[in-house]
Amino acid sequence: MLFWLAKVGTVVNKPDQDYDRATELRIQIAAHDQAYHGLDEPLVPDADYDELVRELIAIEERRPDLATSDSPSVSVGSEPNEMFTPVEHEVPMMSLDNAMDLKELDAWHERILKGLDASDKPKFVCELKFDGLAVSIRYDDGELIQAATRGNGRVGEDVTHNVLTIRGIPHRIDGAPKILEVRGEVYLPISDFDELNRQQLANGGAPFANPRNTAAGSLRQKDPEVTASRNLAFWSYQLGQVSGGPVISSSEETFALLESLGLPVNPEIQEFSDFADVREFCENWMGKRHEPDYEIDGVVVKLADLTQREKLGSTSRAPRWAIAFKFPPEEKITRLMKIDVSVGRTGRATPFAVLEPIFVGGSTVSMATLHNEDQVAAKDVRPGDMVVVRKAGDVIPEVVGPVVTERDTKSEPWSFPKTCPSCSSALVRSDGDANTYCLSRTCPARVETGIIHFASRNALDIEGLGERTVRGLVTQGLVRDVGDLFGLTKNQLLEVLVADASNETLVNNLMTAINEARERPLSNVLIGLGIEHLGPTAAEMIARRFGSVEAIANADVAEIEAIDGIGPVIAQSVADFFSDSHNQLVIDKLKSNGVRLDLVDGETDVPQILVGRSVVVTGSLDGWFISREEAKKAIVARGGKSPGSVSKSTYALVVGAEAGQSKLDKAEELGVPVVGETELRLLIEIGELP
């Protein structure tokens, strides 16, 4: 993400529509990547995400001058989470291009034929596209020594201990090649997912959204015991780095090897020479996608012959020799019982559909956002209508539109309420704005959602401060804004929580959590305050540059905008926030209640001497810097970039001990200077190589 915003700020190009749209798409895609891969909480259905990537690719194809080397259209997944040790993939873990229908599948087939010689006679292997989480498992001399997630394709996360708990994955393989990297998908069988949710509900917990996110969440756990309790399973479908094994020349041989080594291989794989059979396989599985006890969201078609694969090669994001035929989003019809409006912390009033519960796309849907007044009008959905509901195998459902033929003749178009459902003050929609707002600062709905956001994981991370407690605190008048949280006494909390039939331990825990939250990094506080347009990356940049809330509040728009990667919209929003008298009061309250507003990890206010320079660091550094990660942080803190791979735009490759040969070779090939720690130190101090 950091990458992204920095890039947006440094691309030099005349503003034009394509440029603006590409920039917007990159930011959206990066945010979705982070949510999907990094947090296991997707923001939009897969189909919508795919559409964004495709639009960006189309712009970049039309306007190669707008393509960037780190565009999400050429990169994969998301940056690895810092909670796990990074693992560099020697052979990158790539993504797949999508075909959204048979026409696009045919177009891929045409491209394959064009790329091969007439005598090549391609064969195709069809596999199911498992909706889980890709992992790479490494065996050295037959011993499972490491397992990593895909991460951004180049660097993944070390999940070895968790993978060791997955049934079907051997810990030791006799007769394995000296080095063997097995790649495949970790998934949660649907029956295990259902059982888990039954237990979850019986214990009073919230149900998990779907098997994919649950599998990803279960694998990316600090505690392997949690993973072990989840019944995860695995399908292997590819080899990564292999040495000292048999020569493999086709997918058939790959699967035969995997099977002979005792790795789970999916039984539905089929090979065809005639492309009509490939199409039929795809169509067939579309019709029976719910038959298996695991979720699938398409079919992966690959060229079977490995020499032919090599001939076609890959783009930096995906191989040309494979394609994912994606199933269309599923649609079901149900009744729209009513349209309600919810008010969030910014005061935005969002209409949403209350639906007769319906099972679609892998989970039961009973509510769906309708976004804003114009969307409801455009769809003309009315309370009482039968409506089409869609879910692209993901968490966010959508009301597509009404089934007009089934409409009650007496039904009337829905009209947006005039007053706030929470505080009854007038709702306001300004000219040119699609959204409607409640402007009351004291609106309980706004205050409650503001506090819940403040206490959330990415902000002040106050465990135990859930929706019900917040509602109790606000309704009883104990908390009017986030500043009041830190002045709460144990007795006040007891009043709210005991009325809620809870006990003293809960109150003690909550008191401790509130206490601990006084010492969160400044960037988390900035996020918690809910400043419009300010995401985690920008918050981190601003925190680093200014070092304290006080310094930010004293800065003017120009000073904030001077940070590389911060645009005028964010800068203005931050300045507006701190000049608002209500916000100033809240900040004063936080300060007088002992909340630290000046904690920044690492260096602050460092000169931006590496803007526009990309410095790759490889191997382990044990001289001046404590670790490679710290060196990277120092580069980024100075406005530079530190990606994981060498390209022609790399300014320098810094090499530590035991560095891999591939980056060195690449640097040599591209004429990129290869330097050591001494030069790195100079780079950090003066911004350039001597």
When asked if residue 185 is in the footprint of ligand IVH (CB under 6 A), the reply is: yes
When asked if residue 126 is in the footprint of ligand IVH (CB under 6 A), the reply is: no
Report d(CA 594, CA 486) in Å as an integer: 8
| Nearer Cβ to ligand IVH (158/550) | 158
Exactly one of 6, 29, 74, 96 binds ligand IVH (CB under 6 A); that residue is 96
Q: In the complex, what is the shortest distance from the CB of residue 362 to ligand IVH, in angstroms, rounded to a whole number? A: 15
Return the range that interacts with ligand IVH (CB under 6 A); candidates 30-38, 89-97, 332-340, 633-641: 89-97
DSSP string, 388-438: EEEE-SSS--EEEEE-GGG--TT-------SB-TTT-PBEE--TT-S-EEE
651: Cβ contacts below 8 Å, ≥ 6 apart: 613, 614, 615, 640, 672, 673, 689
Report d(CA 651, CA 644) in Å as an integer: 13
- According to CB under 6 A, which residues from 303 to 322 bind ligand IVH? 319, 322
**Which residues partner with 285 through β-bridges?**
none
| Nearer Cβ to ligand IVH (29/595) | 29
Exactly one of 105, 216, 300, 525 binds ligand IVH (CB under 6 A); that residue is 300
Main-chain dihedrals φ then ψ at residue 627, nearest 5 degrees: -150, 170
Report d(CA 230, CA 213) in Å as an integer: 12
**Mapping DSSP to helix (H, G, I), strand (E, B) and coil, where does residue 159 land?**
coil
Number of residues that bind ligand IVH (CB under 6 A): 15
Q: In the complex, what is the shortest distance from the CB of residue 554 to ligand IVH, in angstroms, rounded to a whole number? A: 47
Q: In the complex, what is the shortest distance from the CB of residue 130 to ligand IVH, in angstroms, rounded to a whole number? A: 4
| Nearer Cβ to ligand IVH (300/539) | 300
- What's the distance, CA 59 to chain centroid? 23
Q: In the complex, what is the shortest distance from the CB of residue 542 to ligand IVH, in angstroms, rounded to a whole number? A: 34
- Catalytic, 490? Answer no
Return the range that interacts with ligand IVH (CB under 6 A); candidates 125-133, 443-451, 496-504, 680-688: 125-133
**Mapping DSSP to helix (H, G, I), strand (E, B) and coil, where does residue 282 land?**
helix
| Nearer Cβ to ligand IVH (115/319) | 319
When asked if residue 7 is in the footprint of ligand IVH (CB under 6 A), the reply is: no
| Nearer Cβ to ligand IVH (237/625) | 237
Q: In the complex, what is the shortest distance from the CB of residue 142 to ligand IVH, in angstroms, rounded to a whole number? A: 24
When asked if residue 324 is in the footprint of ligand IVH (CB under 6 A), the reply is: yes
Report d(CA 74, CA 92) in Å as an integer: 13
Return the range that interacts with ligand IVH (CB under 6 A); candidates 33-41, 124-132, 484-492, 591-599: 124-132
Report d(CA 22, CA 44) in Å as an integer: 19
Residue of 312, 322, 321, 316 whose CA lies nearest to 644: 316
Exactly one of 130, 208, 234, 255 binds ligand IVH (CB under 6 A); that residue is 130
When asked if residue 129 is in the footprint of ligand IVH (CB under 6 A), the reply is: yes
Q: In the complex, what is the shortest distance from the CB of residue 299 to ligand IVH, in angstroms, rounded to a whole number? A: 8
Report d(CA 88, CA 117) in Å as an integer: 35
Structure tokens at 664: 């060195």
Report d(CA 532, CA 554) in Å as an integer: 18
When asked if residue 237 is in the footprint of ligand IVH (CB under 6 A), the reply is: yes
Residue environment code for 494-519, b if the CB has 16+ CB neighbours within 10 A, otherwise e:
bbbbeeeebeeebbeebbebbeebee
Residue nearest to ligand IVH (CB): 134
Given the residues 129, 302, 391, 632, select the one marked as catalytic: 129
| Nearer Cβ to ligand IVH (235/625) | 235
Residues with a known catalytic role: 129
> Under the rule (CB under 6 A), what is the footprint of ligand IVH?
94-96, 127, 129-130, 134, 150, 185, 237-238, 300, 319, 322, 324
